């Protein structure tokens, strides 16, 4: 229920409905995806590819998925371009990040990164991005054997989600979670006026 001055509600009706429809659609889609992978103990997470950032991510959380991260201020993200540029992987002094997410594209790169990594006490997640699905089981074994977490990302959709969930990563991040959710049909009915 929404309450307020009649004129204000009528002037903002379409904005309110658009936001509620979008967020409800995302939360419903998130709930559906989360329930599909529940038996595999996999957490589905949204990516940063959202139209309405924190609102979209909040809707994901309400639906039972994770928001992953909002930006560089709450977690460290090392992408392929950082690795190619030779950035330091010494994170032993990192204190304020929830986690460090390192994007990996192939097994050779994984071996090199694991050899150079100094994580300290911060949780490390290896994001296997557009990784060859035949090599994912080996990568998961190596990463979890080193005491880290695994995230699968890139090209994962509702149609192939179970195929990836059965590999038992810790997380699966999907841009589809927010980009492809259909808005729910919600209307506003005035019940009384002052």
Whether 118 and 148 have beta carbons less than 8 Å apart is answered as no
Cross-strand pairs, 46: 174
The residues, ordered by sequence, that sit 6+ positions from 182 with a Cβ below 8 Å of its Cβ are 25, 29
What is the token pair recorded at 118?
């100094």
pLDDT, averaged across the chain:
88
Whether 151 and 125 have beta carbons less than 8 Å apart is answered as yes
The pLDDT tens digits for 77-99 are: 888 888 889 888 888 777 777 88
Whether 156 and 181 have beta carbons less than 8 Å apart is answered as no
Percentage of residues of the chain with pLDDT beyond 90? 49
Task: Provide the pLDDT for residue 69.
Answer: 74
Q: In this structure, how many other beta carbons lie within 10 angstroms of the beta carbon of residue 33?
A: 24
Domain ranges, ordered by start, for the chain: 7-179
The residues, ordered by sequence, that sit 6+ positions from 156 with a Cβ below 8 Å of its Cβ are 164, 172, 173, 174, 176
What is the token pair recorded at 157?
């959709």
Name the CATH architecture for the domain at 7-179: Alpha-Beta Barrel (3.20)
Locate tokens 């329930």: which residue? 35
The pTM of this model reads 0.86
Q: Which residues have a catalytic role annotated?
A: 14, 49, 79, 103, 129
The pLDDT tens digits for 43-76 are: 999 887 777 778 888 999 999 999 877 776 778 8
**What 3-state class would DSSP assign to 75?**
coil
Task: Provide the pLDDT for residue 193.
Answer: 64
What is the token pair recorded at 109?
């790169």
End-to-end CA distance of the chain: give it in Å, rounded: 16
């Amino acid at each position: 229920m929404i309450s307020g001055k009649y004129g204000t509600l009528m002037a903002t009706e379409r904005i309110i409905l658009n936001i509620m429809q979008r967020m409800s659609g995302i939360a419903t889609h998130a709930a559906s995806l989360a329930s599909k992978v529940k038996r595999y103990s996999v957490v589905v997470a949204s990516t940063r590819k959202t139209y309405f950032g924190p609102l979209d991510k909040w809707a994901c959380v309400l639906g039972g998925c994770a928001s992953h991260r909002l930006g560089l201020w709450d977690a460290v993200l090392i992408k392929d371009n950082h690795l190619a540029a030779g950035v330091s992987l010494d994170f032993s002094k990192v204190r304020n990040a929830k986690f460090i997410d390192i994007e990996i594209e192939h097994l050779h790169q994984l071996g090199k990164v694991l050899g150079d990594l100094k994580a300290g006490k911060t949780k490390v997640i290896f994001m296997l991005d557009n990784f060859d699905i035949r090599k994912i089981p080996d990568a998961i074994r190596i990463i979890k054997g080193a005491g880290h977490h695994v995230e699968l990302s890139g090209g994962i959709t509702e149609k192939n989600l179970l195929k990836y969930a059965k590999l038992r990563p810790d997380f699966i991040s999907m841009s589809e979670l927010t980009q492809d959710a259909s808005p729910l049909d919600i209307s506003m009915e005035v019940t009384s006026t002052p």
